[in-house]
Structure 1
């Protein structure tokens, strides 16, 4: 005999012993009684929970088990309970959701409606396995909760109107968690080939990043650096780690900023000298040291002169305030009347890592 199952319990409001002193005879909570089963008053919470208990009764009947006999769930016949849990569509015993139909039938109809092209009346082949996976998911109520969100409904209806579903098509759509989930379903069920999503995201990001380069000559260099200095190494990886993905973005971003800085100072990469690099690093944060990889690549490619020295970025090397000055500054922040508690906390966190070259707070 299988063990009866029921959904996860939902939180109940506190009972009211004044309004309902008798309360529920099943959970013994002081709640309003909505029906009487087996000569016992049943509250609304227990009534809803009973419709979701399924399994095999001691008599052998399989389905919804709303009653209790000998401390075990029992079917409607054995417990003499009148309860409508018969789906009009599939005939199965289950909690009814809408129009006398169970959640699974409503979910299936909703999926067919959304994933069928209204102009052709057909579902594109790529979406067929996705539809089947959603229809047969273990918890149809979760599927209904997800699919009935307005943005999910709109996304699926729009997707269904495309004659062919591909990675390229999905890449052209606005990024969202819904898109990522649907793409995962398409890949999981063989409708789309597997690919490294971080690599694909980097390629899309890189195309957009190149547009920020002011001078066409420098834009061409950045494009070549991305292709041969970044992507060439990433494409041979079995899977691009998140750290590599983030560092590669930062490296290109700093390279773009450096090229634009040279342009504003009337210079090109071909004219780059050590004074340019020293000024670039002196004027900005230490993260400008990430330009070292870009400069190394341009030197090997004969775009810049060899021998340009870049002070590399190192984490945790910023000098701290002397202990006495740090305590004094923190004390002023703590007793500063114009700071909110949140601003005061932020200021303290900054002070414990502030550089000696920065002025202290007034």
Structure 2
């Protein structure tokens, strides 16, 4: 594929941020770049249109987050293993299932089971960290990547 063909077929103006970038998805509001796609996969809450608590990747005409069903997004985001709705990684698995597989693979003792804790190699004490010694910058919350997602109330929105 030539650079001109790539530009013509793959590069679009993102419908959410307006940036000219590779298209990651084509949703009801238009082409979506990777940054906006990843951001949309982190928004959870109660959909103001159908009043269900779930992933809110879509946008209504006012720009408020809504669920994929109400937004007309045909792709589903449910993990093939656990059924959680969210960002899917390789093999259509959620982040939690992917992490569990990676940890199990790393700790496998060769028999398909997690190695005994006494036989696992240990890092020198100077390289170990615990949750108590890991500090978060002020104003950031653990588990959200420091990004607060504010969802407008359903009462203030009309679908």
TM-score (norm 2): 0.59
1:156-213 superposed Cα distances (whole Å, 9 cap, x missing partner):
xxxx635xxxxxx95xx65552xx12xx36x99xxxxxxxxxxxxxxxxxxxxxxxxx
Matched, 1:161 2:119: yes
Residues 175, 75 of structure 1: CA spacing in aligned structure 2 closer, same or farther, 3 A cutoff? same
Residues 79, 111 of structure 1: CA spacing in aligned structure 2 closer, same or farther, 3 A cutoff? same
Given that 2:104 and 2:114 are in contact with CA atoms closer than 8 Å, whether structure 1 keeps it comes out as no
1:341-352 map, 5 Å: none
Matched, 1:82 2:74: yes
> Which residue of structure 2 aligns with residue 68 of structure 1?
59
User: How many pairs align?
Assistant: 123
**d(CA) in 2 for partners of 1:50 and 1:41?**
13
How far did 1:123 drift? 4.9
How far did 1:43 drift? 2.8
> Which residue of structure 2 aligns with residue 220 of structure 1?
none
Structure 1 residue ranges without an equivalent (≥5) = 1-18, 128-159, 163-168, 189-362
Larger RCO (CA within 8 A; separation ≥ 6): 2
1:189-228 map, 5 Å: none
Q: Which has the higher strand share?
A: 2
Matched, 1:103 2:61: no
> Which residue of structure 2 aligns with residue 14 of structure 1?
none
How far did 1:85 drift? 1.3
Matched, 1:29 2:19: yes
* 3-state SS of 1:86 partner: coil
How far did 1:42 drift? 2.5
Given that 1:118 and 1:161 are in contact with CA atoms closer than 8 Å, whether structure 2 keeps it comes out as no
Quick check: which has more Rg, 1 or 2? Answer: 1
TM-score (norm 1): 0.29
Given that 2:44 and 2:54 are in contact with CA atoms closer than 8 Å, whether structure 1 keeps it comes out as yes
Q: Which has the higher helix share?
A: 1
User: RMSD in angstroms over aligned alpha carbons?
Assistant: 3.5
Matched, 1:53 2:69: no
How far did 1:116 drift? 4.6
* 3-state SS of 1:99 partner: helix
How far did 1:32 drift? 4.3
How far did 1:68 drift? 0.7
**d(CA) in 2 for partners of 1:44 and 1:84?**
17
> Which residue of structure 2 aligns with residue 44 of structure 1?
34
**d(CA) in 2 for partners of 1:83 and 1:106?**
20
* 3-state SS of 1:96 partner: coil
